[in-house]
């Protein structure tokens, strides 16, 4: 068993772009091995396509940022960013993407920031966790995270997706029959359609939609087992224990700091505990107590000890 870790850096790394890494490491991954790209702070502008590999559940691809290089839950220009004008596509099974920032600024319609292309092209068993995905394009029909393909199961978790707000645009989607994907603890903000699924197969839990035209499109299509979702709109969030017409209180929504504040009454402590599957939030912070809905788990700012009053000696 071997984990091959290559660094992607603007200087001093094994590769200077994720695309270069993908070309250089493209291979048949042996059972028990992994191929990992560790991404450091810079703007990576070359389209990423993962294709032509052989992977398996115990022989997977991992693209991630180490702790010091990871965003802090808000778009951070001093951390690694994949900033492209074309769709970034994953056509391989068992690819994990963790802690990245991805933006798309397409000049054409129907472009996707992170596109898992399934069915005959595979892309099954993938995970995208703790990523920030945003749209900069004025084109119609853009999507943030898209899972397309029948009979695939991919997981979107702890992701923040925003500004896919042109006609036909979607924050996170999973479509085609028997697409048994999971969407857990995500936040979608200012999108035309927040979450969208076309078939009765996708389970969505603890997901938050705010300032969207339609937060959860095709509500009746989300699978039994969906629960604890929240929306700013009426009659929107699917599943049991879900909350509608909520007002969410973020740190600075205008500047897309969508961390919950201590005064939030829409999402804080209304989630279901999913710790059997994962335990952290978009910041990499361990979720504790009653879980919050959305990508962020509210954590009180670290305080000092008790305040000591100066002693006046007479």
Partner 1 sequence: MCELLIFAKNNTHLDSEKDRRGCYKRGMPVVVFEDGHTWGREESKQQWIAEGNPAADWPGQGRFVLLKLPGVPAAKAQALLDHQTEDDAGTPLLNPDGSPITFRRRRWQLSVDSTPLAVRNTLDSTGEYTTTVSAIRNYMKRLRDNAQFTGLD
Identity of the residue, 14 or 72, whose beta carbon is nearer to partner 1 in the bound complex: 14
Distance from C-alpha of 127 to C-alpha of 95, rounded to nearest angstrom = 6
60 part of the interface to partner 1, by CB under 8 A: no
With contacts defined by CB under 8 A, name the span among 24-32, 152-160, 175-183, 289-297 that binds partner 1: 24-32
**15 DSSP assignment:** B
Phi, psi dihedral angles at 121 (to 5 degrees): -90, 10
Query: Shortest distance, CB of residue 199 to partner 1, whole angstroms?
Result: 16
Identity of the residue, 143 or 296, whose beta carbon is nearer to partner 1 in the bound complex: 143
Q: How far does the chain reach from its first CA to its final CA, in angstroms?
A: 72
9 part of the interface to partner 1, by CB under 8 A: yes
15 part of the interface to partner 1, by CB under 8 A: yes
The helix/strand/coil state of 231 is: strand
Q: Which of residues 187-246 bind partner 1 (CB under 8 A)?
A: none
Specify the residue for token string 């999913």: 274
Query: Shortest distance, CB of residue 71 to partner 1, whole angstroms?
Result: 22
- Count of residues touching partner 1 (by CB under 8 A): 33
From start to end of 166-239, where are the E strands?
A: 170-175, 182-184, 187-189, 193-197, 203-205, 208-210, 214-217, 230-231
Out of 4, 10, 43, 261, which residue is the one contacting partner 1 (CB under 8 A)? 10
Out of 4, 54, 178, 245, which residue is the one contacting partner 1 (CB under 8 A)? 54
Distance from C-alpha of 171 to C-alpha of 134, rounded to nearest angstrom = 9
State the DSSP H helix or E strand holding residue 178, giving kind and residue range, or none if neither.
Answer: none
Chain residues that interact with partner 1, rule: CB under 8 A = 6-17, 19-20, 23-24, 26-28, 46-47, 49, 51-54, 87, 91, 108-111, 141
């Amino acid at each position: 068993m071997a984990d091959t870790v290559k660094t992607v850096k603007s200087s001093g790394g094994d590769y200077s772009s994720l695309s270069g890494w993908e070309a250089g490491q493209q291979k048949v991954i042996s059972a028990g091995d992994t191929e990992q790209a560790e991404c450091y702070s810079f703007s990576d502008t070359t389209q990423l396509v993962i294709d032509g590999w052989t992977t398996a559940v115990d022989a997977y691809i991992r693209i991630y940022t180490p702790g010091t290089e990871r965003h802090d839950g808000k778009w951070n220009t001093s951390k690694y960013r994949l900033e492209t004008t074309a769709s970034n596509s994953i056509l391989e099974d068992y690819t994990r993407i963790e802690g990245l920032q991805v933006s798309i600024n397409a000049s054409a319609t129907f472009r996707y920031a992170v596109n898992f292309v399934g069915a005959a092209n595979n892309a099954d068993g993938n995970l995208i966790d703790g990523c920030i995905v945003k749209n900069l394009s004025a084109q119609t029909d853009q999507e943030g995270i898209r899972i397309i393909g029948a009979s695939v199961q991919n997981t979107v978790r702890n992701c923040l997706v925003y500004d896919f707000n042109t006609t036909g645009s979607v924050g996170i989607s999973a479509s085609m029959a028997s697409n048994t994907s999971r969407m857990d603890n995500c936040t979608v903000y200012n999108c035309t359609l927040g979450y969208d699924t076309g078939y009765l197969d996708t389970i969505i839990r603890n997901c938050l939609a705010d300032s969207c035209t339609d937060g959860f499109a095709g509500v009746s299509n989300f699978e039994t087992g969906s629960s604890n979702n929240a929306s700013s709109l009426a009659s929107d969030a699917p599943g049991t224990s879900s909350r509608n017409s909520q007002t969410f209180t973020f740190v600075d929504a205008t500047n897309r700091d969508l961390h919950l504040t201590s005064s939030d009454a829409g999402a804080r402590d209304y989630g279901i505990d999913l710790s059997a599957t994962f335990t952290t939030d978009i910041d990499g912070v361990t979720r504790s107590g009653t879980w919050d809905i959305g990508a962020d788990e509210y954590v009180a700012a670290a305080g000092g000890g008790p305040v000591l009053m100066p002693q006046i000696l007479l």
